[in-house]
């Protein structure tokens, strides 16, 4: 797991460490010292800790003018034992919402498991952004993780099923990804070009 690093190809366009509106502004990372773990396996030191014991994130792109953010995740999303959604909402999402972000794309292909508790924080998150036409999308969720999310009824607040699970996002720029997600939300079939 230590070889899986957050997507870095957009750093010339956005870097959360240099963004004074980011909750991770000014963080310093080691390229050689591994201290964070998931399942007793060290993870790459570029992942950001936000209060969870098992889930880490990286804000890989934000456009405040268009009001959207793309975040990538690694680990186990555990609301049941560690209330990960509360930590994520309070430590990361709330600060982005305060800066005008209301469209969220969460890359979840490295989320290995999900353990739900209730949907209160997801509902709060959705309520915080719906007035601005906002939405939340989880992309590339593993099928067993999506099943657990559906069992917790997260689909009422988060888009994560169907076309959102077959999404080759890495070769593309953030605005192209936003355009495809918005098209899917509007019921259009639009794919990223290869």
pLDDT in tens, 67-78: 999 999 999 999
Q: Any idea where the domains of the chain sit in the sequence? A: 16-37+47-185
Fold exhibited by the domain 16-37+47-185: Transcription Regulator spoIIAA (3.30.750)
Strand ranges inside the chain, DSSP E: 37-38, 41-42, 55-63, 68-78, 103-115, 135-139
Per-residue pLDDT of 13-63, as tens digits, reads 999 999 999 999 999 987 778 778 888 888 989 999 999 999 999 999 999
């Amino acid at each position: 797991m230590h070889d899986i690093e957050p997507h870095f190809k957009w750093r010339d366009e956005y870097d959360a460490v240099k963004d004074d509106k980011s909750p991770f502004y000014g963080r310093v990372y080691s390229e050689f010292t591994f201290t964070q773990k998931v399942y007793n396996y060290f993870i790459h030191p570029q992942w950001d800790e936000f209060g969870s014991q098992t889930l880490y994130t990286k804000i890989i792109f934000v456009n405040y003018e268009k009001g959207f953010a793309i975040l990538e995740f690694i680990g186990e999303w555990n609301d049941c034992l560690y209330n990960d959604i509360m930590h994520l909402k309070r430590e990361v999402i709330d600060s982005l919402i305060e800066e005008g972000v209301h469209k969220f794309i969460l890359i979840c292909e490295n989320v290995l498991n999900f353990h739900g508790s209730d949907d209160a924080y997801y509902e709060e998150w959705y309520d915080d952004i719906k007035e601005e036409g906002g939405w939340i999308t989880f992309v590339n969720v593993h099928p067993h993780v999506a099943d657990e999310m559906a069992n917790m009824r997260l689909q009422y607040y988060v888009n994560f099923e169907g076309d959102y699970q077959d999404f080759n996002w890495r070769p593309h720029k953030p605005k192209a990804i936003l355009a495809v997600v918005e098209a899917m939300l509007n019921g259009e079939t639009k794919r990223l070009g290869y």
